[in-house]
Structure 1
Amino acid sequence: MSNRAVLEVIALDAGDAVAARSGGADRLELVTDIAADGLTPSRETFARIRAAVDIPLRTMLRLADGFSAGTPGDVEALLEAAAGLRAEGAEEFVLGFLDDSGGPDVATLERILAEVPGCRWTFHRAIDRTADRDALRKQLADLPGLDTYLTAGSAEGVDDGLDTLVAEAGRKGEPGYEPCLLVGGGLRLDHLPALLAAGIDAVHIGGAARPGGWTGPVSADAVREWRRAIDA
């Protein structure tokens, strides 16, 4: 692959995956239940999507809406889901949980990562809800496999978080700032020039790839429009 910016698209099923791939997506985020902001898909769904496309897949590990890992029983269910997906062939994941104080739930993250050793992963938009973004990054810096933060810069979306994203992009390489910034959450095409100029080289779209809304499929043409805008 060239050093062009990465375009990641949310896929709910194999049809979405094929359309996103044909439109120029570099990677897919696999989720179910978008009404809850994306939860863990089944092993069967993962297997169907894996058979349908040859691009990297990042699979969500999240069983309930919100940014808490939940009860001890919920955590056990997460561990079981992670192990099952790994056994199915999943190699990349998306996860992220906060504790009651608004900091990262490092203990739960470490337990889940132990189920998927050697896998790369994205810490998702829980970073936009944390009490202290900089502290969170430094607390997570030594976790194995963390190579990406999915963030809008703000819980309110990219409109509100643009300055934060540009500032964090300028800290690339500092301790805690080595992972890629993957920008998503209310992202629009008109945000791209400022983000790309700041050195951000990965974007994430969900609803923007679905002209008919979340009840409709991914449109290869919509993905292609983003691909052209990023590459331009």
Structure 2
Amino acid sequence: MIVEICASNFESARIAQECGADRIELCTDLGVGGLTPSRESIQKVTTELDIPINVLVRPRKGNFVYSEVEFHEMLDTIEFCRELNCAGVVSGVLTQENEIDFERTKHLVKASEGMEFTFHRAFDEVADPISALNSLIALGVDRLLSSGLELNAADGIPLLKQLQEHSAGRIEIMPGAGINETNAQLFKVAGFQSIHLSAIKKGIAINSMFETGVEGVSDSEIIKKVITIVR
């Protein structure tokens, strides 16, 4: 099982690599659900570490409906990631009606050609998850990161399994949100091929989908325990 660590700083990314994680989602500002990291951070991590790096492309907190200026900023970030040979990007756009913004996401996917494209947890705000998944499949998205529309992915397992069955191998479903050493086994038993977690030990929980209140450095012991459990 692939273990992806959501790292909001270089130290977390370094720890993840040393502990044997498979991949990094690099971001900043986990307290608001993650935002695009600085270009300095992207460059440092990609040049000093060997682990595959997928960069979160989310220009601001709040909803996932973006202005033209914000959208072009996202495209510029993707081009920067391409120049640094990043493994992939993690992004996505919704409409005002909480549906997949097909045309804008299509542009993001095209801009990411040669890199993996993961549609992030904007999906957890959609009104119709099966219809939204069909859109992502049609767009050729490689992976969906989702909590199953719940605050905690463990609670979203029934929908996540439904999404995985519906996908029929056309897109990878990667659970994420609240995964740790106490519940990682649930996702292995449920048949998922990868999981996403920050592995941060301490944080103040906020009852909001994208404001976690969690900041800090990934804990090596949590990463090691999760890896032991799921492999």
Provide the TM-score with structure 1 as the length reference: 0.87
Per the TM alignment, residue 7 of structure 1 is displaced from its structure 2 partner at its CA by 0.2
In the alignment, structure 1 residue 162 sits paired with structure 2 residue 154: no
Q: 2: CA distance between counterparts of 1:54 and 1:82? A: 20
Q: Can you list the C-alpha shifts for 1:128-166, whole angstroms capped at 9, x where unaligned?
A: 11011110111121324x211111112322243121123
Residues 127/23 of structure 1: CA separation in 2 closer, same or farther (3 Å cut)? same
Q: Can you list the C-alpha shifts for 1:176-201, whole angstroms capped at 9, x where unaligned?
A: x5211111112243433332222111
Q: 2: CA distance between counterparts of 1:36 and 1:204? A: 17
Q: State the identity %.
A: 25
Q: How does 1:1-232 map to 2 (within 5 A)?
A: 5-144=1-140, 146-173=141-168, 178-206=170-198, 209-213=199-203, 214-231=214-231
Residues 163/215 of structure 1: CA separation in 2 closer, same or farther (3 Å cut)? closer
Q: Which SS does the other structure have where 2:156 is aligned? A: helix
Residues 155/129 of structure 1: CA separation in 2 closer, same or farther (3 Å cut)? farther
Contact 1:31 1:41 in 2 (8 A): yes
Contact 1:67 1:96 in 2 (8 A): no
Residues 60/20 of structure 1: CA separation in 2 closer, same or farther (3 Å cut)? same
Q: 2: CA distance between counterparts of 1:81 and 1:147? A: 19
Q: Can you list the C-alpha shifts for 1:71-95, whole angstroms capped at 9, x where unaligned?
A: 1121122222222222232230101
Contact 1:67 1:97 in 2 (8 A): no
Residues 103/39 of structure 1: CA separation in 2 closer, same or farther (3 Å cut)? same
Per the TM alignment, residue 172 of structure 1 is displaced from its structure 2 partner at its CA by 4.6
Q: Which SS does the other structure have where 2:151 is aligned? A: coil
* More displaced stretch, 87-96 vs 191-200: 191-200
Provide the TM-score with structure 2 as the length reference: 0.88
Q: Can you list the C-alpha shifts for 1:33-92, whole angstroms capped at 9, x where unaligned?
A: 222211111222111111222121110111011342421121122222222222232230
Contact 2:180 2:222 in 1 (8 A): no
Q: Please list every run of 5 or more consecutive structure 2 residues that lacks an aligned counterpart in the other structure.
A: 204-213
Q: Which SS does the other structure have where 1:160 is aligned? A: coil
* Corresponding pairs, count: 221
Contact 2:181 2:222 in 1 (8 A): no
Q: 1: CA distance between counterparts of 2:134 and 2:229? A: 33
> Which letter does structure 1 place at the counterpart of 2:200?
R
Contact 2:120 2:145 in 1 (8 A): yes
Runs of 4 or more off by more than 4 Å in structure 1?
none
